[in-house]
Amino acid sequence: MAIFVDQNTKVIVQGLTGGQGKYHGLRNKAYGTQVVAGVTPGKGGTDVEGIPVYNSVKEAVAATGATASFVTVPPKAASAAILEAAEAGITFIVCITEGIPAQDEARTYNTLVRSYPKVRLLGPNCPGIISPGKCNIGITAGEIAELPSASGPNVGIVSRSGTLTYQALYELKQRGIGVSTCVGIGGDPVPGTSFIDCLREFQNDPETHAIIMIGEIGGSAEEEAADFIKANVTKPMSAYIAGVTAPAGKKMGHAGAIVSGGKGTAQGKMDALRAAGVKVGQNPTEAGSLMADIVAGLR
């Protein structure tokens, strides 16, 4: 099994005719993902290397039965694209777009919660999701993800950082450890999917036997996740928190990665996770090594 997406997931790419949409959409298809259509207003009736393009998501869904969308459009159009997908019946939306104003993100997120409660948004500003060997939606390189094994143990990954998502995948691949699903939730202030959402799914997934969590400074998501772990997660975990040396008041990469008012520090997050029973590494490689030790104990 896997969480959120698998080999049966049919995907449309909003913005398939653009540079980023075409590049990553075709890479996803080459990985084996069922990329069944693209959407670009005004370009319906054309195709991108055999993938049909429609003028609207509604038309694409009606023609293909797609349930997932990969949003690759610029910041000004991203919120409208997300809501168009939800209105058309898409239930899983991955948005990689960076630079969407936080006010727009908040408005879009609350509209989804209020009007489309069955729709899950991943992102914005995220690398996407990969269930190795089954489905890859986003910008993650499929070759760095180790396939899960039938007997396990397999590891689930959830991360705020795109780059560290890739490193976590590769740390496990170098050790021959299979991955059930890897989810990059993104580092913007208003993510559509949280650590807790993913941890809940991994806890309930029989193919996931252990979990790696990658966090960073800013906000309280990691502390909230720690509380959830303590109360609900029985599977062993390792973690890494980026930004130990980040100065207070300075944004570090992501819009949500900023320490203000003494809150959101790396040390506070690490302490909370350790208190919840999570093994916390001082760097990404150590988090991978800790997971390797965990997996060795499960075999």
How do the domains of the chain map onto residue ranges?
10-122, 141-298
Task: Please check whether the domain covering 10-122 is classified as CATH 2.60.40.1930.
Answer: no
Active site residue 254: yes
Measure the N-to-C terminal CA separation of the chain; round to a whole number of Å. 19
pLDDT of residue 264: 77
pLDDT of residue 251: 54
pLDDT of residue 247: 61
Domain 10-122 identical in fold to domain 141-298: yes
From 29, 254, 269, 279, active-site residue: 254
Q: What does the CA dihedral 144, 145, 151, 152 come to, rounded to 10 degrees?
A: 100
Beta strand extents in 107-264 (DSSP E only): 120-122, 128-131, 135-138, 154-159, 178-184, 210-216, 237-242
Q: Cα separation of 141 and 124, whole Å?
A: 18
Half-sphere exposure of 252 (CA within 13 A, CB side): 23
pLDDT of residue 162: 87
pLDDT of residue 246: 61
Residues 13-35 have pLDDT tens digits of 999 999 999 999 999 999 999 99
pLDDT of residue 111: 98
Q: What does the CA dihedral 103, 20, 57, 109 come to, rounded to 10 degrees?
A: -20
Extract the tokens encoding 168. 């976590």
Q: Which residues on adjacent β-strands are paired with residue 130? A: 136, 182
pLDDT of residue 145: 97
pLDDT of residue 155: 98
Residues 149-187 have pLDDT tens digits of 999 999 999 999 889 999 999 999 999 999 999 999 998
Q: Cα separation of 277 and 273, whole Å?
A: 7
Show the low-confidence residues of the chain (pLDDT under 70).
245-263
Nearest by Cα to 124 from 169, 69, 177, 47: 69
Please give the CATH number for the structural domain made up of 141-298.
3.40.50.261
Q: Cα separation of 167 and 73, whole Å?
A: 26
Instruction: Tally helices (H) and strands (E) across the chain.
Output: 9, 14
pLDDT of residue 253: 57
- Other Cβ atoms within 10 Å of 43 Cβ, number: 15
